[in-house]
Amino acid sequence: MAVWFAQKRKRKRAGPKIGYTMPSPFASSQNSEPGGVNNSRSWFTYEELVRATDGFSEHNLLGEGGFGCVYKGILTDGREVAVKQLKIGGGQGEREFRAEVEIISRVHHRHLVSLVGYCISEHQRLLVYDYVPNNTLHYHLHGRGRPVMEWAVRVKVAAGAARGIAYLHEDCHPRIIHRDIKSSNILLDSNFEARVSDFGLAKLALDSNTHVTTRVMGTFGYMAPEYATSGKLTEKSDVYSFGVVLLELITGRKPVDDSQPLGDESLVEWARPLLAEAIEHQEFEELVDPRLEKNYVAHEMFRMIEAAAACVRHSAAKRPRMSQVVRALDSLDESSDLTNGMKPGQSEVFDSAQQSAQIRMFQRLAFGSQEYSSSFFNHSQSSWRSQEDGSQGSWRSRDYANQSSWSREHRERSTLMP
């Protein structure tokens, strides 16, 4: 009996050594952390990243977005990385930040930018990504003095980005809603393969600002209309944003362009009647980027126009899933169905005054004066939902019901018309 009690006390003393204690991010940089990318250490000290970026020098600045500045860096092993200084600061708890970063770090896909690691210091949150050398889709489409992006490259970029987003939506556990899809978040490698960046960052920012109810997630010009009423972003909101990117690829125009004539500043609203005309009559000239000089494959253009029109439908429920968009862009044939059960002429006419109010609210949210956004949400939510629930959400019948020259006979012939 005395021997049994002695063994029990010995086991109790050994107890605390059993299991795994999570290393602190403030520990020595020689330690490694399980669960990182490729089982290598996934965290960095702030001093390491200062050295890698030459003190976050201006000549290493790659860009600045809503979530923070991005700098090119070179690690001690010679690896090139992109270091993002998040604007969320140190308000978020270390445990919550680490948990979200761990989810992002497990996501690996050829069309997504991989997270290499992270850093938590007293007042800083930094993320370290693979460096993608060929800038962004926005730069190549809209950069001043850039050569015209060829049509084959545009198709390649669209298909690759769609695959990356579909992976986030349908193959990640838990699923990841990007929340800020735009051409400047689609990076291009030296072969013009698309790699989607910044997924998961909106969730990190939301978690650290839960008291800010009017915080705008997403970018004006890309935000889905339902965001104005619900304040929530879903997979179908991502689909809408990707539809805007497709319109950029088709037209060569920016999502919002103040240099355009009054009423045509919004790419989506300018494109709507032209999308309808292109699908109805397969006439692309007014819609397609004139810089292409008609150097495109007509049936590929038609399919991309169909995909863009389906993605920017006002009814979120009637937008396709990203996997459907992937199939349409991969196949570029007549077999992919993007209708989601929608037939032309099924939806009721939407209130154009309400749409204008939503656009004005977006502008105020994007450029300041956020005070009244909550009251707008409360005022319009019930009416919007009743319209969404009671209709099939066809933007075509909503926006063009007054165009009597479009007969029902013509509308019924186009089964893929959104």
Read off the pLDDT of residues 171-211 as tens digits, 9 standing for 90 and up: 998 889 998 999 999 999 999 999 999 887 766 555 544 33
Tokens of 341: 């059960």
| Sequence ranges of the binding site | 84
Residues 306 and 344 reside in one and the same domain: yes
Confidence bin at 389 (pLDDT 50/70/90)? very low
**CATH number of the domain encompassing residue 56:** 3.30.200.20
Residue 45 lies in a domain: no
Range of the domain at 63: 52-131
Residue 280 lies in a domain: yes
Bridge-based pairing of strands 68-74 and 80-86 is antiparallel
For the chain, the maximum distance between any two Cα atoms, rounded to a whole number of angstroms, is 100
Confidence bin at 385 (pLDDT 50/70/90)? very low
Residue 32 lies in a domain: no
- By the 8 A CB rule, do 304 and 152 touch? no
**CATH number of the domain encompassing residue 390:** 1.10.510.10
pLDDT number for residue 103: 83
The upper half-sphere exposure of residue 352, i.e. CA atoms within 13 Å in the direction of its Cβ, equals 8
Tokens of 402: 């007054």
Residues 185 and 59 reside in one and the same domain: no
Task: Please give the share of the chain, as a percent, with pLDDT higher than 90.
Answer: 50
CA–CA dist 308, 305 (Å, integer): 5
CA–CA dist 98, 43 (Å, integer): 10
Residues 222 and 283 reside in one and the same domain: yes
β-bridge mates for residue 266, sequence order: 256
CA–CA dist 67, 340 (Å, integer): 34
Angle at 113 between CA 317 and CA 257, to 5 degrees: 60
For the stretch 131-180, pLDDT in tens is 999 999 999 999 999 999 999 999 999 999 999 999 999 999 888 999 89
CA–CA dist 342, 310 (Å, integer): 10
Residue 38 lies in a domain: no
For the stretch 393-409, pLDDT in tens is 333 333 333 333 333 33
Mean pLDDT, the chain, whole residue set: 74
pTM above 0.85, yes or no: no
Residues 144 and 105 reside in one and the same domain: no
Residues 187 and 104 reside in one and the same domain: no
Average pLDDT over residues 360-379: 38
Helices (H), 214-313: 227-230, 235-251, 267-281, 298-311
Residues 253 and 351 reside in one and the same domain: yes
Average pLDDT over residues 87-92: 57
Q: What is the DSSP letter of 220?
A: T
Confidence bin at 229 (pLDDT 50/70/90)? confident
pLDDT number for residue 387: 34
β-bridge mates for residue 74, sequence order: 80
For the stretch 284-329, pLDDT in tens is 999 999 999 999 999 999 999 999 999 999 999 999 999 999 999 9
CA–CA dist 127, 86 (Å, integer): 8
Helix (H) or strand (E) holding 72: strand 68-74
Residues 290 and 221 reside in one and the same domain: yes
Residues 57 and 92 reside in one and the same domain: yes
- Between helix 267-281 and helix 235-251 the angle, nearest 10°, is 70
- Where does a domain end: 72, 106, 131? 131
CA–CA dist 362, 310 (Å, integer): 22
| Sequence ranges of the binding site for ATP | 84
Helix (H) or strand (E) holding 9: helix 2-14
Residue 197: CB atoms within 10 Å = 24
Residues 205 and 98 reside in one and the same domain: no
pLDDT number for residue 7: 53
Residue 103 lies in a domain: yes
Lowest-pLDDT range, 242-246, 333-337, 382-386?
Answer: 382-386
For the stretch 33-80, pLDDT in tens is 333 344 456 889 999 999 999 999 999 999 987 778 999 999 999 999
pLDDT number for residue 332: 62
* Chain Cα centroid distance, residue 380: 26
- Where does a domain end: 75, 107, 131? 131
Q: How many domains does the chain have?
A: 2
Most trustworthy range by pLDDT among 8-12, 73-77, 412-416: 73-77
pLDDT at 337 over 90: no
Residue 3 lies in a domain: no
Residues 371 and 243 reside in one and the same domain: yes
Average pLDDT over residues 210-238: 75
CA–CA dist 258, 254 (Å, integer): 10
Residue 320: CB partners within 8 Å, gap ≥ 6?
Answer: 239, 307, 310, 311, 328, 338, 340
Amino acid occupying residue 73 = G
Q: What is the DSSP letter of 317?
A: G
Task: Please give the share of the chain, as a percent, with pLDDT higher than 70.
Answer: 64
User: Catalytic: 289?
Assistant: no
User: Active-site residue among 77, 130, 171, 180?
Assistant: 180
